[in-house]
Amino acid sequence: MAGIPQLVVDSKCSHGEGVLWCDRRQSVLWVDIDGRRLWLHRPGDGLTRHWDLPDRPGCIGLGQDNRLLLVLASSLHEAEVDADAPGELQLHHLADIDPALPGHRSNDGRADRHGNFVFGTMNQNPGHAPTGSMYQYSAAHGLRRLPMGGIGIPNSICFSPDGRTLFWCDTPTGTILQADYDPDAALVGAPRPVVPAGTAEGSPDGSCLDAEGRIWNARWGGARVVRFDADGKVEYSVPLPVPQPSCCAIGGAALDTLYIITSPEGLDAHALAEAPTSGGLYALPLGRPLGVPESRVELPA
């Protein structure tokens, strides 16, 4: 692994997030939260397109067919997503989120290894008080709240290869955690620190787990993505020419490319002038197949 990631899509997202690789589509997908868009890039032929959404998306999940799960600010939807089909997406409502909590929206999320999708909500008000929650969704069980304490900004959600360990963080605390996870009962055990606060520059944002069981974490404000070893120490650091990487995924035809989505949110005019491609999608060849196919969500028939 060497070099600096290269810009592959200058998507100019207002707040890029939630990047993942779809092996069936051979495409990268991500969302622009504040821009209310779903994006897709197919590296094989260079196709890039986006779809407008009716509300801010927090994250997305792959269905077991051609559908995506779209987790919007306060509701869950599914939609057929075909990169080659003209027209807008037709969204179908699945569930509402936190209808009694104004000022909250969905944030990070990822499919577990058992057909469920786990995501968190955050308090958008200044200070991001820890009043967010974590949820699990599937067609079999609907939307269930996970028994976890209040969270300010949920991020870094990913799962061990057997799906029995959940990783996540509350970004303001700076610590990436893990806990035992029971997907059938929607239970989560006591949290244990994996990466202590201050281990790497920046704050922990979106993560993925690679084929060797290592966490790759986008470091918001740190201008880098970091691979942590089994002891939570920095094993490899990928520098970026923009300050706010928000999420990462490993994909490509051989699962050997690191994709990183970034965000300009909150940058002042000087910072934007210094990093004008903030909000774009970056890619770095890793030199070996480190990716794990993205797990899929059980959606209604």
The string of pLDDT tens digits covering residues 145-166 is 999 978 999 999 999 999 999 9
Total domains, the chain: 1
**Does 145 fall in a domain?**
yes
Domain at 245, CATH number: 2.120.10.30
What is the rounded distance in angstroms from the CA atom of residue 224 to the CA atom of residue 110?
21
| pLDDT tens-digit series, residues 71-106 | 999 999 999 999 999 999 999 999 999 776 788 999
In the annotated binding site for substrate, the residues are: 105, 107
**Does 168 fall in a domain?**
yes
**Does 247 fall in a domain?**
yes
Percent of the chain with pLDDT over 90: 93
In the annotated binding site, the residues are: 17, 105, 107, 155, 205
- Global pTM reads 0.97
**Does 169 fall in a domain?**
yes
What is the rounded distance in angstroms from the CA atom of residue 196 to the CA atom of residue 151?
17
**Does 141 fall in a domain?**
yes
pLDDT of residue 149: 79
What is the rounded distance in angstroms from the CA atom of residue 202 to the CA atom of residue 209?
19
In the annotated binding site for a divalent metal cation, the residues are: 17, 155, 205
Task: Tokens 């397109």: give the residue.
Answer: 49
Q: Which candidate, 213, 211, 178, places its Cα nearest to that of 195?
A: 178
Residue pair 298/139 in contact by the 8 Å Cβ criterion: yes
Dihedral sign of CA atoms 216, 233, 220, 118 in order: positive
* Residue 23 a catalytic site member: no
Q: Which candidate, 110, 111, 106, 75, places its Cα nearest to that of 91?
A: 75
- Residue 162 gets the label, from left (phi > 0), alpha (psi -120 to 50) or beta, of alpha
pLDDT of residue 125: 85
**Does 133 fall in a domain?**
yes
**Does 1 fall in a domain?**
no
The DSSP line for 181-248 is EETTTTEE---EEEE-TTSSSSEEEEEEE-TTSPEEEEEETTTEEEEE-TTS-EEEEEE-SSS-EEEE
pLDDT of residue 1: 59
Count of Cβ atoms closer than 10 Å to residue 140 Cβ: 11
**Does 95 fall in a domain?**
yes
Please give the residue range of the domain that contains residue 105.
Answer: 6-297
Per the residue annotation, which of 32, 98, 112, 205 is the catalytic one?
205
